[in-house]
Copies of this chain bind each other. A is one copy, B any other.
Amino acid sequence: MAPTSETLTAERILAATEEVLRRHGPAKATVVDVARALGVSHGSVYRHFRTKAALREAVTQHWLDRTSEALAGIVAEDRDPASRMRDWFTALFAAKRKKAGDDPQLFATYQVLIGETSAVVERHIADLTGQLTEIVQDGVARGVFDAADPAVSARAAFDATGRFHDPCYAREWEQPGIEADFEAVVALVLRGLRA
C-alpha cells in the first residue's frame, strides 16, 4: 500500500477499498482510510465515486460478479441439461460455502455490504437466474425438461435452492447433513422439471 505516483483510477480505488474492508471490516472502513492507503487526499476519491455508498456498491458488485463468471462456463457446456443444472447448483453451493468457510470475517463483511445495496443484489440474482434459464431452455429444446415458461421455472429452481446459496443460511453450511439436504432438494427440483 505504499503511495505510488501512478494515476489515480477507479480500479485502483476499488482495489484499495477491498483491502481496507478486509483489514478494518465494514463498520470501520472509511473513505479517509482508502485515501490514506493510496497516499492521496480523500477529496480525490470523491472525484471518482460520488459517495461512500457508491464506492461500496462497486466493491460489492465486483465481488458478486466473480461468482457469476465462474458459473457461466457450466452454462456454455454442451451436455445433458439435467446433470448440467445439478453441476451448476453444486458449483454455486461450493463457491459460496468456500467463501464463507475460508474467511468468515471477510464473508461477514460482504454480507453487510450486500444488505446495504439491494439494487446490486437484484442484478446479481437476475444474472444467475438468467444463466439457469438458458439451461432450462436447452432442456426444453432437447425434450428432457417440461417447462411452460423457462424463466419462471428457472426462478423457482433458484428460489427452491436458496438454503444452499443465500448468505443468510451461511452458518448452516458447515453442519453435518447439509450435503444430504442439498442432494434431496436438487433431486426434487430436477424431478419437478423433467418431461
Contacts and interface: CB of A to CB of B under 8 A. Distances in A.
B192 A152 contact: no
A188 B193 contact: yes
A8 interface: no
A104 interface: no
A132 to B, nearest CB: 12
Interface string A71-104: 0000000000000000000000000000000000
A126 B188 CA distance: 20
Contact of A161 (B160, B168, B193): B160
9 contacts: A152-B184, A155-B181, A156-B181, A166-B168, A187-B192, A188-B189, A188-B192, A189-B192, A191-B193
Interface string A148-162: 000011011101111
A157 B191 CA distance: 12
A155 B184 contact: yes
